[in-house]
A and B are shown apart, each in its own frame.
Chain A
Amino acid sequence: MSALVVAVLLPGLAGICLALARAVVSARGAAAAGAAVSVLSLICVVASWSARDGAYAGEVDHPWSTALGLHWHLGVDGISLPLVVMTILLCVLVCWSLAADVTSTTDDHEGAGVVLVALVLVIETASLGVFSALDLVLFFIFFELALIPMWFVIARWGDPGGGRLAATRFLMFTVTGSALMLVGFVVIAVTAGTLQIPTLADLPDPLTGTVPLLGGVAIAVGLAVKTPLWPLHIWLPDAHSKAPTVGSVLLAGVFLKLGTYGLLRVFVSVVPEPAARLAPYLGALAVAGIIASCLACLREHDLKRLIAYSSVGHMGFVVLAISTMSEVGVLAAVFASVAHGLITGLLFFNAGWLKQRYGSATFDALGRGLYTRVPRLAVVLLFAATASLGLPGLAGFWGEMLALRSTYEPSPALDRTLAWTLLTLAALGVVLTTAYFVRVVRRVLQGAATPRDDDIDLTRTEAGISAVLAVAIVLLGVAPGLLTGVIEPAVGAIVQVAP
């Protein structure tokens, strides 16, 4: 058995064991076990990556159902590896924060904290499975596996008011989208006669015509809900803001990447011709999302909702990069996805800590002058905000820069005039992003301090989590080659590389 299979399945199996043994395990112990298992999983990924000898590291390909042509086919390449590592990193940090979180461990009924850790681990397995699946139906199985645990996380650990409604709305949107995606997969299976993604990506004559186009539309709509692409994003602000901190972090950091990764792996690479025909629409909607989300952020009075909307904007840059269908576009999409995962993860951790202290993350509840009240927390928030708005030297900059660069020189799929128009509007989005983060800084961090009893600065755990993410963000910001060097050799798996 490949180390990669272990890496994917280990967290989920550990989660099931923890859930069954919740009577005898403490929440803290469970969280520690979760972090340990995730680290083991990371070691397995690294082991299979360093032992790679082919296009896909740790590739396993066993027939699973000969009747359906379904294979147990896993493997990671340069496109998926960064996302796999980021997912594991975020899950470790989430477990760390759960281990220290008193409110979730002293819940009203026994074992709830353990179950939360178990759900996080199942979500981790599902996400890792999506990032490494090389069979369409297997991809779909992992894609769906994450949903119900996430529903429970939001519905049971989210805000008492509206948490369940937000969870159900989130679930309905994504399930409807993924059901359409399944129809698209069926179309591909029927027309191409195989479910294996590498085979589909290398078809001698790619799928063209009306039927694959309709299949492509179905896949694109399904993934657009998940990403989310404007105007299918309306489930997102509520789900992200009502979710508990761990839920928000995983939703923004990992779940949205399932959508963008899907667009690369099962849309652009599998149905290149329909994708090229849909690219202008994707690009236009992406830019509409960038502008719309920035405008929403300028009027938003709740920090968590603001971060949620800003995610729509950042995902807009990713989709814009994908819609160029160029080498740089793929590079930008993966880079920006990873950067967004780290930065927004940090932002949501931060917002969660504030919400925990002040009971709510609205600007009114937070008050003013966090610089003087909780100086270190405020500095972390400032750092995350500047990273998010794309300050050069931090990870977010390269994602957006590469996305805009790819739009300047798109593949023939995107008309040059349209691309440059989109480029201009997206650049406007960068300015607006700066504007709303500056507004946050002025409204919450600066100003005359309004001291409160619960002004507690960063705890040790919070400082640790912040430090890990900050180091990662700075590292990718000053040495982007670390990441691009991994991604670039694999770009050919997604789009045709010019010789």
Chain B
Amino acid sequence: MIDWAAVTPALILASGAIAALLVTAFHATRTWRWPAIVSTVSLLAASAVAVATGSIDRLTLVLTLVVVLGTFMMVLAAGVMDHEESIPPGELHFLLLSSAAGGCCLVVARDLVTLVVALELLSLPSIALVGLRRSDLGAARAAWTFFLLSAVSTAVTVMGVSIVYGFAGNLAYDQVATALAGSTAPARAVGAAVLLTVVGLLFKAGAVPFHVWIPDTYRGASVPVAGYLSVVSKSAALGALLVVLTTAFGPVRDDWAPVVAVVAAVTMTVGNLGALGQRDAVGMLAWSSIAQAGFILAPLVGLPGTAAVAAAVSYLVVYSLANLVAFTTVAICRRRWGGTTFAHLAGLARRDPGAGLCLAFALLVLAGFPPAVIGLLTKYVVLLPPVDSGYGWLAVVMALNVAFGLVYYLRLLATVLAPPSEEVATPPPSPSPPYTVRFARAAMIAATAALVAASVYPDLLLGVL
């Protein structure tokens, strides 16, 4: 049975992807504008359809919007690369939209085979995206790492799915849940099958121990693509993980919850440790996105019900917005000042107050500190389920990691607000920002405005779920 309301956004994106590729094929010269217009139209259409039909339920709608609008922002941010001859614009937009179509399928998947197919549709174009820059050895290496690990993790997932099929005799989430609830299979075997099934998703989400590809891949990819991976790809995987764990595997929660708790705790700790030594904004954001994945996983240990999932999703939305802002500003900074290291970002708030203040606010959101109230409130929200369900130790680990994470967010924040360093005080390589930078700035300001609005009226976000 096909639920057209659920798949229409994905279909629109897939058609848009082909159209974006074709317009460049039939265009005489290299054009950045037309594929971008096609992408924009199809992304906006997809989000309009999702809102109009309401998707499957409110949760799925929010996840779909995160995927679609996140991709939209990264399409706008990708415009700042329009001067780079080594990036083919048609392929870039084709791959972005194809992957986003996979993301849309992934969050509406209610069947394990659909899940695997959607996961592949999400992954394969994003691998190509990472290696898209022609004759860039680093990018090729990053793509290769990503590809190998991705293939292995998907293989493990397929194995898990087949074992689950052995227990349940079915692949649809609701029937798997019914079958597992009445199953007499040994708990450990079921637990193992569940964990193998979610390996592919944990890999995409960047949870420890499947995180090793993230720093390399993000640094090898162009900044907007790294942003895409950290927001859209990760959100889709985490969203699917929330859905599959709480619906299909909900009845055997006691078998997987302790493992998820440990994974969440280790993920946030390792991510924070890794971020501590970074002196490059992309590298730092890569590690920090690993740590943030841990915070999104943590509420899943909560008691069954919507509260835990709602907590995770509201955290996910806030994380996505803040990361979009951060990656967009870094992309703009790279275009205008030629790099993404802390030295390039030093004094950004003085050289480019708009970008600097947006980045500062996004960092405060990620760190969870006032005046970014929404960042703090979502941290509070994700602490509730672990405490409520008796995982007090996890709550303490989360609290310590909040404190710990502040160190590196604050370091970048202080860098952004500090006086500019000598080497970039010289005239920037791109003195007059092209009009594409203006689009990226508009996206950045819109996302920041959303975060500010949510800080003033938290119910805008927290009341929805």
Chain A contact residues, CB within 8 Å of chain B: 64-68, 70, 109, 126, 137, 140-142, 144-145, 147-148, 151-152, 155, 168, 171-172, 175-176, 178-180, 182-183, 185-187, 189-190, 214, 218
Contact = CB atoms under 8 A, between A and B. Distances in A.
Given A152-B414, A180-B396, A67 B462 contact: yes
A175 B403 contact: yes
A178 B400 CA distance: 10
B32 to A, nearest CB: 35
Contact of B369 (A64, A147, A155, A189): A147
Contacts of B396: 180, 183, 218
Given A179-B399, A180-B396, A171 B463 contact: no
Contacts of B373: 141
Given A168-B407, A172-B407, A144 B399 contact: no
Q: Which 5 A-B pairs have the closest CB atoms?
A: A179-B399, A67-B462, A145-B370, A65-B458, A176-B403
B376 A190 contact: no
Interface string B427-465: 000000000000000000000000000000011001101
Contact of A179 (B370, B381, B402, B465): B402
B383 A151 contact: no
- Is the contact region of chain A dominated by helix, strand, or loop, or is it mixed? helix
B201 to A, nearest CB: 27
Contacts, number: 94
Nearest to A142: B370
22 contacts: A66-B463, A137-B380, A140-B376, A141-B370, A144-B370, A145-B370, A145-B371, A152-B414, A168-B407, A171-B406, A172-B406, A176-B403, A180-B396, A182-B402, A183-B387, A183-B399, A185-B380, A186-B384, A187-B387, A189-B384, A190-B384, A190-B387
A175 B406 contact: yes
Given A126-B370, A145-B371, 7 more contacts: A65-B462, A66-B459, A68-B377, A137-B380, A147-B369, A148-B369, A183-B395
A372 B413 CA distance: 48
A148 B462 CA distance: 26
A186 B369 contact: no
Interface in B400-436: 400, 402-404, 406-407, 410, 413-414, 417, 419
Contacts of A145: 369-371
Contact of A180 (B380, B399, B414): B399
Interface string B340-377: 00000000000000000000000010000111010011
B400 A176 contact: yes
Contacts of A172: 403, 406-407
A70 B377 contact: yes
Nearest to A145: B370
A171 B414 CA distance: 13
A141 B384 contact: no
A352 to B, nearest CB: 24
Contacts of B381: 68
Interface of B: 364, 369-371, 373, 376-377, 379-381, 383-384, 387-388, 392, 395-396, 398-400, 402-404, 406-407, 410, 413-414, 417, 419, 458-459, 462-463, 465
Given A186-B383, A186-B384, A67 B407 contact: no
A218 B398 CA distance: 13
Contacts of A178: 403
Contacts of A109: 419
Contacts of B410: 148, 151, 168, 171
B349 to A, nearest CB: 11
B292 to A, nearest CB: 16
B403 A155 contact: no
A257 to B, nearest CB: 19
A155 B415 CA distance: 12
B386 to A, nearest CB: 9
A155 B411 CA distance: 11
A140 B463 CA distance: 21
B380 A68 contact: yes
Contacts of B388: 190
Given A68-B381, A152-B414, A182 B459 contact: no
Contacts of B458: 64-65, 67-68, 70
B412 to A, nearest CB: 13
A148 to B, nearest CB: 6
A186 B380 contact: yes
Contacts of A152: 414, 417
Among the interface residues B399, B410, B458, which one has the most CB atoms of the partner chain A within 10 A?
A: B399
Nearest to B389: A190
A189 B395 CA distance: 14
Nearest to A65: B458
User: Which of A126, A140, A179: most chain B CB closer than 10 A?
Assistant: A179
Contacts of B387: 183, 186-187, 190
A145 B376 CA distance: 11
A67 B463 contact: yes
A137 B403 contact: no
A194 B401 CA distance: 26
A28 B396 CA distance: 45
Nearest to B390: A211
A189 B386 CA distance: 13
Contact of A141 (B376, B403, B407, B459): B376
Contacts of B370: 126, 141-142, 144-145
A214 B392 contact: yes
Contacts of A147: 369
Nearest to B462: A67
A109 B347 CA distance: 12
Contacts of B395: 183, 186
A64 to B, nearest CB: 7
A67 B459 contact: yes
Contacts of A171: 406, 410
Given A67-B463, A68-B462, A148-B369, A137 B399 contact: no
A148 B373 CA distance: 14
Contacts of A175: 402-403, 406
A66 B406 CA distance: 28
Nearest to B395: A183
A431 B192 CA distance: 67
A141 B381 CA distance: 14
A236 to B, nearest CB: 17
A137 B379 CA distance: 11
Nearest to A147: B369
A101 B71 CA distance: 52
Nearest to A115: B417
B390 to A, nearest CB: 9
Max chain A C-beta neighbours (<10 A), residue from B377, B387, B400, B402: B387
A171 B369 CA distance: 12
Interface centre among B404, B410, B417 (most CB of A within 10 A): B410
Contacts of A187: 387, 392
Contacts of A65: 377, 458-459, 462-463
B274 to A, nearest CB: 18
Contacts of B402: 175, 179, 182
A182 B383 contact: yes
Nearest to A180: B399
Contacts of A179: 399-400, 402-403
B209 to A, nearest CB: 25
B358 to A, nearest CB: 15
A332 B373 CA distance: 35
Nearest to B386: A186
A144 B372 CA distance: 11
Contacts of B398: 183
B406 to A, nearest CB: 5
A406 B403 CA distance: 36
A171 B364 CA distance: 15
A171 B413 CA distance: 14
B414 A155 contact: yes
B75 to A, nearest CB: 32
A133 to B, nearest CB: 12
A96 to B, nearest CB: 26
B273 to A, nearest CB: 15
